[in-house]
Structure 1
Amino acid sequence: MPPGLAEVAAKVFGEKVSLAVSYAELLATDGVERGLIGPREVPRLWERHMLNCAVLSEVVPEGVAVIDVGSGAGLPGIPLAIVRPDVEVMLVEPMLRRTTFLEEAVAALGLTNVSVFRGRAEECEVAAPVVTARAVASLDKLARWCMPLVARGGELLAMKGSSAADEVAEHAKAVRKAGGAEAEVLTCGAGLLEVPTTVVRVRRR
């Protein structure tokens, strides 16, 4: 972990920071070897991945079930599950090599609040109060894939970049068609992260 981020990591992960360190080490070793994380991402693993994902916990209600669509290497689902042992996280990922890594990581970290589902979002037959996605697709596609998994009264939390507001404006009609209400752009980690995390929240209509 970069020295300058140790204090921030301790604030974000609290007493679970050693577990977060173990996961980061898995990403930097097995994750790179299996092609889940690019080698260039290793020096910025904490800044761009671990902390960036963990602060999503700020907008996740207490004690809910979460479905993480297109989980890949477990982002944001695993950092969220580490920070928030009160939530139950299902990692949804269609690729076998990724689900194998996820299952091994969950076992190695002893995360009893995480399960892994191999398949596409459309094949997942459960719903949850919160559905998350990071770097999966544009908002119109995300809404189409994810809104059916959002329980009544629940919400989609899509991690996005600096063009989030433009994407919200561009895909408002598609989001409504998929069953979402008007999308909001939220910021997580302000005052903690140098670049706060941008999240688009879409509540189910």
Structure 2
Amino acid sequence: MPAAPPAIDRPSLQARLRAGADELGLALTPAQNERLIDYLDLLVCWNAVYNLTAVRDPAEMVTRHLLDSLAIAPLVRGATLVDLGTGAGLPGIPLAILAPERKVTLADSNGKKTRFLREAVRVLGLANARVEQARVEDLQGQYDCITARAFAALGDILTWGGHLLAPDGVCVAMKGVIDEEELRGLPSGFRIEEIVALAVPGLGAARHAVIIRRYR
């Protein structure tokens, strides 16, 4: 594990997270708040050496990583979830902390990132999460929910990972400004059910969740 950088200001970050979660309508328990900041602390530590995210400021991480991930929590459905191209575990780890009853698979092909993910799952005691180091098209199984954040175009997400979506499952793809051409690029067998504007507290940038289902 990398040497620890200077300690983060936990009380300030916890207050920022709690206030943001309240704005999102999410009632975090004290234990969930604590564990989310534990994750952020671990991310800050590893990021100093492994460059897992371009965001360096812990307070900014609360907004751009934790709250951004938690903003889609009301849209996630089912007992199983796979987070494609999860990178440093976003949104998969915050969603796993929020819903310990849901089995979450964190999928990424990058060995540096999956090494961090395995350490995060171990340190945080996330019994409901597991890590898969593989290309999306090589993953197996079916999931009630697929999430993807800053991973790929919608068409690529579904071309590579559509086989992972259960018949009644839902794909929640996180996007910034909506690209109409991208929306038209879905492979056959899938349809956009809804586009939800996300109001991430403190972000000040356009965020959307594109909800996609299979054709019956």
Sort the TM-score into its range (normalised by shorter chain).
Answer: 0.7 to 0.9
2:61 maps to what in 1? 45
1:184 is displaced (CA, Å) by 2.0
1:22 aligns with 2:38: yes
1:41 is displaced (CA, Å) by 5.0
Counterparts of 2:165 and 2:196, CA distance in 1: 19
User: Which structure 2 residues correspond to residues 22-171 of structure 1 after superposition, within 5 A?
Assistant: 22-61=38-77, 63-161=78-176, 163-164=177-178, 167=179, 169-171=180-182
Counterparts of 1:30 and 1:154, CA distance in 2: 34
Report the secondary structure of 1:80's partner residue. Answer: helix
Kindly, what percent of the aligned residue pairs are identical? 31
Counterparts of 1:30 and 1:155, CA distance in 2: 32
Report the secondary structure of 2:53's partner residue. Answer: coil
Report the secondary structure of 2:72's partner residue. Answer: helix
Distance 1:118 1:3, change over 3 A: closer
Counterparts of 1:60 and 1:39, CA distance in 2: 25
Q: In structure 2, give the amino acid aligned to 1:49.
A: H
Counterparts of 1:67 and 1:39, CA distance in 2: 24
Q: Report the TM-score when normalising by structure 2.
A: 0.83
Report the secondary structure of 2:36's partner residue. Answer: helix
Q: Report the TM-score when normalising by structure 1.
A: 0.87
Q: In structure 2, give the amino acid aligned to 1:20.
A: L
Counterparts of 2:100 and 2:73, CA distance in 1: 11
Which moved further from structure 2: 107-116 or 24-33? 24-33
> Unmatched 5+ residue regions in structure 1?
none
Counterparts of 2:122 and 2:213, CA distance in 1: 32
1:122 is displaced (CA, Å) by 0.5
Counterparts of 2:163 and 2:105, CA distance in 1: 15
> Comparing both structures, which one devotes a greater share of its residues to helix?
1
Distance 1:39 1:198, change over 3 A: closer
Aligned partner of 1:193 among 196, 201, 209: 201
Root mean square deviation, CA, Å: 2.1
Aligned partner of 2:191 among 181, 185, 188: 181
Report the secondary structure of 1:182's partner residue. Answer: strand
Q: Is the 8 A contact 2:44 2:58 kept in 1?
A: yes
Residues 71-115 of structure 1: CA distance to partner in whole angstroms, max 9, x if unpaired? 100000000001111211000110111111100000000000100
Distance 1:55 1:104, change over 3 A: same
Distance 1:134 1:39, change over 3 A: closer
